[in-house]
Amino acid sequence: MSEITQLQTTIMLFVKDWAETKKTIIPQAEIIKALQSTGVKSYSTLNGIKSLIVKGYIRKAYSPNGNRTHYVMIRNISAPV
């Protein structure tokens, strides 16, 4: 798992948990809100999300209920030991 940073791993673990529990696409605002509660700045979170898109871990998803950004997980990761 050395190709992604600790921040990106945290984002992926949040996305994985959301996908397993809520079984819906993940709103960008929820990712930012969850990481802000741990002290991560919103621009850092957005940069981490963009990097995960480029690396092929997540992709943008489209929602019929508005003009909001959502994501879905493409590749799975396991929690660090």
Q: Where are the domains of the chain?
A: 6-73
The amino acid present at 68, given as its one-letter code, is R
pLDDT range class, residue 1, cuts 50, 70, 90: very low
pLDDT in tens, 26-81: 888 899 999 999 998 999 999 999 999 899 888 888 777 777 777 777 777 765 54
Report the predicted TM-score, pTM, of the whole model to 2 decimal places.
Answer: 0.81
pLDDT at 20: 87
Question: According to the CATH classification, is domain 6-73 in 3.60.10.10?
Answer: no
CB 34 within 8 A of CB 26: no
pLDDT at 80: 57
pLDDT at 19: 86
Quote the DSSP letter at residue 25. Answer: P
Three-state DSSP state, 50 = helix
